[in-house]
Every structure is written in C-alpha cells, then in structure tokens.
Chains A and B, each alone.
Chain A
Amino acid sequence: MEFRYLPMTETDKQEMLDAIGVTSTEDLFSDIPSEVRVNGALNLKKPKNEYQLKKELTEMANKNVNLKEYSSFLGAGVYDHFIPSVVDHVISRSEFYTAYTPYQPEISQGELQAIFEFQTMISELTGMPVSNSSMYDGGTSLAEAVNLSAAHTKKKKILLSKAVHPESRAVIESYAKGQGLEIFEIESVDGLTDFNQLEREIDGDIASVVIQYPNFFGQIEPLDKINNIIKGQKNVMFIVSSNPLALGFLTPPGEFGADIVVGDTQVFGIPAQFGGPHCGYFATTKKLMRKVPGRLVGQTKDENGVRGYVLTLQAREQHIRREKATSNICSNQALNALASSVAMSSIGKHGLVQMAKLNMQKARYAKERLEKENVEVVFQNPFFNEIVVKLNAPISTVNEHLLDKGIIGGYDLSTAYPELKNHMLVAVTEIRTKEEIDQFVKELGDING
C-alpha cells in the first residue's frame, strides 16, 4: 500500500538508518518495554483511496437532512445565516489554515493583523474597549467569564438567569465545580429574567450576575434596569452573553455598564456544522485587560519603526504562568475568528444594520401571521429574531410532521424547560423567504386545527 502523505523511499530509509547507525527502525523503538508493545496490527478499517473514500463519506453526509435542502426555523444558539462567498475563499488560503499560533511575529503578520482586526470588530459591536482573539465557543467563553468574575471579586456566588442558553448554563455548572463556585439560578417570568427575584437575591456576596441579551427565548432583557440593581451593590460584576448580530441594531451591553460581554460569532460566516467548531468571543473593560483568558494581539513597532503586531500580555497565559495562569486555554478558534472577520467586513457597517433589521422584520412577519392563524405566541416583549409558540401537540410530533413537508421545525423547549411542554422556540433569519414563512405558519395552523 502506498501512502501519498509519506515521502519516504527505500533509499532514503537506508541512508537515514546508516547515518543514525542502526540497522532497522525497530532499533529506534527498542526502548519501549516489550510488555506494552502492540502485538500485530491495530484493528482499524482498511485504508481507502481518495476517490473511494470521498464517495463513501459523501454518502454518509447525504444520510443527514441539511439546512440547505430544507427550510429551517431552528435556532436556539446556532443559526442558519447567509454566508458571503468570499469567506470560504479567504479561509481556504493555506497560509492561514496550515499555520500554527503566531509565535514568530516576523512571519505571522498576516494572522496577527487579522486577529487585531477581529478584536477591533468585536470591540465595536459590544461597546467594550478590549476583546481577546477568540474562545472555543459562546458557552465556554461564558464559563470563563464566570470564573474570572469569581477570581477578580474574590467571591464565590453567582446569580445566573435561567433565560441564559441551557447548555451554556450546564457548562458553567461544570466549570464552577472545579473552582468551588455556587450557582444560583434566577427564574424567568413572561420570558424575561425575574427582576424581583434578582433584586431579592443580590447582595454584596455575589461575584457576578449573568444575563443573555437577547435571551434564550429571543426576548430583549432590560439591561439598564438590571445594571442599576447590580451597581447598587459593591463589587458585583455584570456579565452579558450576546448574539453579536443583534448588536447591529441593539444598543451594545458596553453602554449598559457590562463588565464582561461574551458570545459566539457563528452568526458571521460559520456554518452550523453539527454544533462546532463555532467561535467564542470575550470582551471586557480596560480594568480587566490583564486578567483576560486566552490570547491577545497588540500593535507595536519593529526595530525600524514599522507598525506591526505581536501576541501580548502573555504573562497571563498558561505557557508562562503555568498553574497561576488566568485560564488553561491554549488553542482557540483562530481560523473561525478569521471567517467571522471576513463575513463582518463583507457585510460591513451599513449591511450589518440592514441584516439585523431583516431578521427582526421577518420574525415579526412570522409572529403576526402565526397569531392570525390562532397560534399562541407566548411572550410579548420586544424580541430579536426568535419567538416562542405554544402548540396543541408535543413538539417532537410537530417536527416530524414538518419534516415531511420539507421544513426543519423549531427547538423543543420542553427538553430544557419541563414546564414549557408543547412550546417551540422559532428562529426566523434573513434567509427565510415570505413563502417559506407562509408555509410554516400554515402547517402550524393546521396542526393546531
């Protein structure tokens, strides 16, 4: 069997063995104790040639229902948005995707500058002065924000809104165990974080309050009111998880007093790809700049005074600080941050406002049509591009029916909120057409009879 990634020839091998002074490559493995040596070959599937393998994997891919062949109303943290063609052309340039972390700035200015631009775009969107170079995803970025708030305030209690993405909350719970944090959840009322409960439970022992904006139900939380409660306490941090597309139209959390703003830039140029990789962002204040997890790119000059970029403030990071680092993160999502940067550049300053508004308008059209069909839209607060509808049947049954009609239905809220039986979270992005929305509404109307 020939292997096209392995250039070794028999002649090469012999010359190299001679240079080393051994007779076979086995001699190079003789230090592995015989008790732990693998006897015989590993039991793996036989290798396949390029053509056959691509054919097989294409067949495997075709077993999946995909968002391009169906019209999808599924969101809940992962969205089907328009991706400009330029995105894939840029991230397919192998000078980007086959590079390592830019530790050698002289030959990595391209990557470093692209990240510096990403940091600027995130800073602009969130209204925060500092952004890092990316995190794994929105959920782990939020968990890191919670850890940072506890370390910074030297407190252990967190108030976490139940209107935050259920899987992000689950990740926070897991991280909190490592740090010995106590998480207290704040219920939601009419689709918004329970303001009264928040007011009752907040006190000087709280490290941070965690809110999602727009929240998991698509509703726009009143950040100014929440910030007023938080700022009434001493040394309590305000953490906001935010869909960055919504910030094209909504006032950014930075203007409402947020200390840390995190989220996922999957909405910009990154396909759903069964949940990952997406791209977390992490933005904060100047005060917390030296405690940020992950890599930061800074502008500087070279010996000749030419502007350039380097990884900076590395004393925070694990490879320098080891067990005293602010986080253990090493690899991040650089290539996806690049994809999002290209998408944000392509959509541009005015395009972003327009794209955010398109989402809001199409979602409002869906809401109006559903209500006309007597489908109950349960929360009536200002919202972005998601609404919650109550149906007469379990959502899993509804979605099976919709699938037959070429539609991927919304998220079954009862999986994370048992009290929301028969409630569906419906996402309407800019790529849904009026006809698709009309058909979806008609099907839901029919089901509700």
Chain B
Amino acid sequence: MANQDFPLIFERSKEGRTSYSLPDLDVPAYDIENELEEAYIRKNPAELPELSELDIMRHYTGLSNRNYGVDSGFYPLGSCTMKYNPKINEDVARLEGFSHVHPYQDPNTVQGAMEMLYDLQTALKEITGMHEISLQSAAGAHGEWTALMMIRAYHEANGDYARTKVIVPDSAHGTNPASAAVAGFEAVTVKSNENGLVDLEDLKRVVGPDTAALMLTNPNTLGLFETEILEMADIVHGAGGKLYYDGANLNAIMGYARPGDMGFDAVHLNLHKTFTGPHGGGGPGSGPVGVSEELVPFLPKPVIVHKDDKYMFDYDRPQSIGRVKPYYGNFAINLRAYTYIRTMGAEGLKKVSEYAVLNANYMMRKLEKAYDLPFQQHCKHEFVLSGRRQKKLGVRTLDIAKRLLDFGYHPPTIYFPLNVEESMMVEPTETESKETLDGFIDTMITIAKEVEDNPEVVQEAPHHTIVKRMDETTAARKPILRYEKA
C-alpha cells in the first residue's frame, strides 16, 4: 500500500457548494441584524467546509477505510474488552421512542425509558451483588470519581475528616490515582508481590486511620485473580476504610463471583467494555456505580424509584453527593447494555466469562514459549507477556506491536501494566473463534522468530500500513491542533 496523504475536509471545500437542506422560513423575516448591537453579530462566518452530499460521504467513507475496528479484525487490546458489538443494540438505540425523547418531558410520558433504566439497575445489582446502582456516570473514570466522592461523603457524615488517602496497587489503571486526586484524595501505592498480587504485608503497612479506600481491580490488570481478597477486605475494613472495585475486568467473572460478595463497598462498571456498548473510537461510554447498603444515602441525584406501578425520579436525597452529570447518564449506551443482558441472560453471561477465560488461558499457554510469561498461574480473561527476551536482541515491544499491524491485527496493550518490563497485555474476549486465536498465535510466534533471524523487519515495522511510524516528538514539541488555511 502506498503511503498517501488524505485531504482534510476543509481542503475539499469549494465556495458555493452546499449539502444542506434546511426547513423553510415560513414566518416573516425579522430584521435581526438591526435588533442586536453590531458587536454581537459575527463578522465572518465560521469556516465550516462547503461540499456536496456525495463529497461528504466520500470523505468520511475514505476516513473509515483508514480506520480499524472490531468488525475489521482481531483486537486483543488488554483491559479494553474489545468484544463484538451486537447489531440489534444499534437498532434498538435508534428507535424513535428511545432516541427522540427529551430528558425534561413529564415522567408520565417517558415511562418506557424509565422502566428500562430501572430494569437495567436491577440486573446490574444481581450481576455485581451490590445493594443499589446509579446509572449517572458517563464513563469508567467518571464512575470512579463518583464512587470516591460517595466514600468521602460517607466518612464525613461520620465526622471522620482524617481519611485523606486512597490506596491503589502499582498495577492499577492510571485513572484510579487520577480520580482519587480529582476527588481531593492523596493517592498512595501498594506494591505487588512476586506472584503479581497485592502484597498483604505492604498493604498492612500503608493502611491506617487516614485510609479512605483501597481501589482494586479483580482480576487485576495482570489478569490474575486476587485470591486473598477476603483478607484484604478485612485489613481495609479493619482500619475503617472502604473497598472500591474497578469493574474494568468484570468480563472474567460474571456468574462466577460478585464484587459485593467479596466485600467491596462500591464498584463501577464499564458498560462499553463488558456489556458491549461500542467503544466508538474512544467514547461515549457509561460507567454505572454500585454501592453497599451503607453508601446508598450518598448516591448521586436523582435516583429512579418504582412506586405504585410508576417510575419516578427521587430528588429528595439530603445526603446525596449531588449531581455528577446533567440529566440521567448516557441513556443510549445504557440501553445497548440492557439489550445485551436481555439477549444473554444468566446462562449466557456465565458462558461469556467461561469462554473469555478459556480463550485467554489457551493463548497464554501457546505463547509462553516464544515470549516470557512473568506469572505462571492460570489467568482470567487476559494475560501479560514480557518482551524482555526480545529486548535483549534489540527489538522492543513497541516494534512487535507495529509488526502485528503488518499482519492485519490490532496489537495488544503495550507498556501497561507498569510493573512488568516491556509488557504486552492480551485480552482475546469470548467472541473470537479458535481459528482467529490460532492465526494470531502463529503470527506472534512468527514475529518472535523474526526477532531472532531478521530483527530489522520488526524494528522497521510497519511496512504495509497507509502511514508509517509518526513523528510524535515534533507533534508534542510544536503542536498543530487545527487546520489553518494556507
């Protein structure tokens, strides 16, 4: 494939071309230019492009051809759960009775929408084992922050203002410490042990009367189940702290174990991961929050209640942390997740986790000879390899990732988690067939061989993409963040 520049939509624009078809002016033309002070009337129109409708479609179709999604091919991006996005979800989200409903309509006129939300909350309560669910948060990080604000409100309601610290494992997602900081906490790190699990001795050392919460992913970001979870819960609860579950990895345990039963006080879920809301090129997502009974009074406003066969919004929540988002969360993403849960049921969701874990273990065992496997136990839905053997031969994990592009794959997550050198985090998901997994395994083994025999071909990859490696240094040093007319 030849390297080629693709014109910006602004460069395709030509004065006088249109693709709009606006409603008619069927009322008198008011002289608004003379009604407003001159200073408030825009002098030059915003330079939006001018194209015909076909030219717009060609432009965006061209762009879509320069993009790669789950429907294009295998996407084993660890921690992101890039599973198939069912098409019925998309159809349901476009039903006019859902898509063209205004959040300020009288609740009597939106009972169907509210019923869906309530029913989804009920299902997520059962899946997580939590006492109550709020669907307000827009994404995972937003859910983390929401739950931490609730934990903060809980401690403060007990007159406990000394709990200023949130503990996060060294393997945690970057959003965990960032959310802690936005919620006004100081993030402190707890170390992992040689088995890739939280070091209980270190946890005992960092926990104390200043601990607000421990944030934990289980299985953790190495794809390993924190087997000592009950001991950890005891340590944190014993010190008066709360246990927070980052639901990024829930795809591993549905129907097998529930955060509520493990002692977690608050959880967030990523409906765009586990529950098939598409990732959309980076969003929108949805990050519902589940809480234990103690935290219920602090839920964000409003809360949906079901009384006398009617769904209502309850705003009368004196201890609530307030609003975290306008309106009622990312409704259309919640709707997609609901459609998925109704498609799968309890039996289907358990199979999802069973096969996600089976697929990951199969790949891990097939790849452990070609790459270093830092942790030997069975993994859950994902596993982490290290490219340190390849690094000694002068090939970095980044090079291996770029080489995978030549074979038509999206690479695994790389350089995360931070506690494994040259890490590659592979999450196949349950929606991939054995043939797809085998194809990827063969390719990874081929690349490992190339690293030994012909490292340049890997170091200089990708060779077959529409652009080669980008100059990211210049991009950051001299940022160009918008198009300027020549």
Contact = CB atoms under 8 A, between A and B. Distances in A.
A312 B261 CA distance: 41
Interface in A359-391: 360-362, 364-365, 382
Interface in B7-63: 8-10, 13, 17-23, 25-30, 32, 35-37, 39-43, 45-51, 53, 56-57, 59-63
- 6 closest cross-chain pairs (CB), A and B: A275-B327, A61-B97, A335-B280, A63-B112, A110-B67, A47-B345
B326 A365 contact: no
A449 to B, nearest CB: 23
Given A116-B483, A249-B41, A107 B97 contact: no
B378 A28 contact: yes
Interface residues of B, number: 203
B182 A147 contact: yes
9 contacts: A33-B227, A47-B343, A66-B100, A109-B6, A121-B46, A137-B138, A274-B98, A276-B333, A430-B22
A17 B358 contact: yes
Given A86-B19, A325-B181, A349-B45, A38 B258 contact: yes
A300 interface: yes
Given A32-B256, A224-B39, A335-B281, A318 B88 contact: no
B346 A44 contact: yes
Interface string A274-312: 111101000000000100000111111111101111101
Contacts of A361: 25, 27-30, 32
Given A104-B401, A131-B482, A328-B145, A93 B68 contact: no
Contacts of B306: none
A271 B332 CA distance: 10
Contact of A272 (B9, B101, B287): B101
A434 B26 CA distance: 6
A417 to B, nearest CB: 14
Given A130-B481, A322-B177, A111 B67 contact: yes
B230 A106 contact: no
Contacts of B465: 106-107
A276 B327 contact: yes
B326 A277 contact: no
A43 B182 CA distance: 36
Interface residues of A, number: 204
Interface in A19-76: 19-22, 25, 27-33, 35-38, 41-48, 50, 53-54, 56-69, 72, 74, 76
A59 to B, nearest CB: 8
Contacts of A136: 138-139, 142, 283-284, 325, 330
A42 B174 contact: no
B255 A101 contact: no
Contacts of B301: 170
Contacts of A296: 479, 481
B112 A61 contact: yes
Contacts of B471: 300-303
Contacts of B211: none
Contact of B178 (A12, A102, A322): A322
Given A100-B82, A248-B45, A331-B138, 13 more contacts: A6-B352, A54-B92, A67-B101, A86-B19, A99-B281, A109-B67, A140-B138, A171-B322, A277-B330, A298-B479, A312-B481, A345-B9, A361-B32
